[in-house]
Amino acid sequence: MIKVLANDGISSQGVLKLKENGFEVLTEKIKQEDLIENINNKNIEVLLVRSATKVRKDIIDSCPNLKIIGRGGVGMDNIDVDYAREKGKHIINTPAASSNSVAELVFAHLFGMVRFLFASNRQMPMEGDSKFKELKKSFSSGKELSGKTLGIIGFGKIGQEVAKKAIGLGMKVLAHDKFSKDTDITIHFFNGDKKTFNIEINDLTTVLKESDFITVHVPKTDKKAIIGANEIGLMKTGAGIINTSRGGVIDETALMFSLDKEKLAYASLDVFEDEPNPSIHLLMHNAISLSPHIGAATNEAQDRIGIELADQIITIYK
* Domains in the chain: boundaries: 2-95+299-317, 99-290
pLDDT for residue 223: 74
**Parallel, antiparallel or unpaired: strands 194-199 and 183-188:** antiparallel
For the stretch 127-163, pLDDT in tens is 999 999 999 999 999 999 999 999 999 999 999 999 9
Q: What is the pLDDT of residues 77-119, one digit of tens each?
A: 899 999 999 999 999 999 889 999 999 999 999 999 999 999 9
According to CATH, the superfamily of the domain at 2-95+299-317 is NAD(P)-binding Rossmann-like Domain (3.40.50.720)
b/e per residue 79-96 (b: at least 16 CB within 10 A): bbbeebeeeebbbbbbee
pTM to 2 decimal places = 0.90
pLDDT at 219: 85
Handedness of CA 309, 301, 294, 244 (dihedral sign): positive
Model pLDDT for residues 27-71, shown as the tens digit of each residue: 999 999 999 999 999 999 999 999 889 999 999 999 999 999 999
Q: Hey, which residues are catalytic here?
A: 246, 275, 293
What is the model's pLDDT at position 224?
A: 85
CA atoms within 13 A on the CB side of 121: 11
Q: What angle is formed at CA 268 by the lines to CA 266 and CA 273, rounded to 5 degrees?
A: 120
The number of C-alpha atoms within 13 Å of 144 and in the hemisphere containing its C-beta is 6
Cis before 292? omega within 30: no
pLDDT at 193 over 80: yes
State in Å, rounded, how far the first CA of the chain is from the last one: 14
pLDDT in tens, 257-268: 999 999 999 999
Question: What is the C-alpha to C-alpha distance for residues 312 and 156, in angstroms, rounded to an integer?
Answer: 21
Superfamily of domain 99-290: NAD(P)-binding Rossmann-like Domain (3.40.50.720)
**Which pLDDT score, from 0 to 100, does residue 75 have?**
81
Establish whether domains 2-95+299-317 and 99-290 are of one fold: yes
